[in-house]
Amino acid sequence: ALPVAALASRDRVQDGNATVKPLTLQVLGGGRIEGELGIDARTEDPRWRTRLSLADIELKNFFRESRYFDATQGKIQGRVVLAGTGRSLAQVMASADGHMAFALGGGTVSSLMVSLAGLQIFDALILYVTGDNRIPIKCAVSRLNFQRGTVVFDRTLLDTQKSVLHVRGQVSLQSQAVSAEIDADPKSFDLLDLHGTVAIQGKLREPRVSLGRVFPIPTPVFGNARDVACAQVTQQVLASPQ
Name the residue with higher pLDDT: 69 or 5. 5
pLDDT band at 107 (very low <50, low <70, confident <90, very high): confident
| % of the chain residues with pLDDT over 90 | 48
Q: What is the mean pLDDT of residues 220-241?
A: 76
Name the residue with higher pLDDT: 74 or 160. 74
pLDDT band at 127 (very low <50, low <70, confident <90, very high): very low
Helices (H), 58-151: 89-94, 111-117, 121-130
Q: What is the mean pLDDT of residues 195-219?
A: 71
| Entry pTM | 0.81
Any residues with CB less than 8 A from the CB of 29 and at least 6 apart, and which?
A: 3, 5, 58, 61
Q: Is 192 helix (H, G, I), strand (E, B) or coil?
A: coil
